Amino acid sequence: MEDAIENIDIGGPVMVRSAAKNFKSVLIIVDPNDYGRIEELLKTNRIDLKIRQNMAAKAFAHTAFYDSQIGKFLRKDAISALELTIPGRRTIDLRYGENPHQAATFYLTPNTNSPLAKLKKMTGRDLSLINLTDINAGLESVKLFKEISAAVIKHNTPCGLALGKTSREALERAIEADPESAFGGVIVLNNPIDINAAHVLSAFKKAGRGNFDIIAAPKINSSAFEYLKDIRESMGIYVF
C-alpha cells in the first residue's frame, strides 16, 4: 500500500488540468495517437479554438480516468460509495447501436476478465450492439459447461444450447433445437471450430434454411476459416 501511495502522481494531473482549463490559449495533448494529426495542423497554422477545446475535453477525461483508477484501488466496498466513477477504455466502434440510425461504441473497464476484451474479428461484418450482446449471451451460456458446448443466440435469447463430444456434434444439436429461430442468429462455442463443424453451417445454408450473422469461438482452424469465408462473405467470424 505504501508503494502505491508513493506512486500516485500529483503534479502531472495538476499541470494537465491547468493547461486544459486554459484551452483558449493553450493546446494540451495527452494521447500519443494525436501527435501526428496535431503536428500537421501546427505546420499549416490550423489550430483553432474548436481543436483546443476538443483536446481539453480529452485531457479532463484522461485525468478523470486516472483518478478513478486510484479510487478503485483504495476503495474496498464500491456498493457503499456515495459517488462512483467507472473507468472505461474504448474497445470497439460498433456498426450501429440498438437501431441502425444510432451510433455506438463499446467500452471495457481496465483489467477486466471478460472474454469480450479478447474479441478479435478475423473477417466479415463489424458488430452492431445486438451482435455484441448476443455474443456476450452466448459466452455466458457456454462458459457454464466444462463439456464442449455451442449456443445459438437470437436477440439476446438462446434458441439453442447443446453439448457434444465434438464441436460439430454440439453445433448440430444447438441448431436443431430450433432451426427456424437459428436463421440469422449468432453462434458461440467454447471449443475450437474445425472443418467438420464448419460443414454444419454449410449444410444449413445448402438446405435452404438460411445463414448466420456471426460465429465466435476460442479458435478457428485454418482450413475451417477458409471454408467459412466462402459460406457467406458478410458473416462475421470472431475469436476470443
Catalytic positions:
21, 155
| Cell, residue 81 | 460509495
Helix-helix angle 49-74:35-43, to 10 degrees: 160
| Cell, residue 92 | 470497439
**Residue labelled with grid coordinates 479532463:** 60
Q: Which of these, 31, 30, 24, 29, lies nearest to 50 by C-alpha position?
A: 24
Distance CA 175, CA 182 (A): 6
**DSSP secondary structure letter of residue 118:** G
Distance CA 29, CA 17 (A): 11
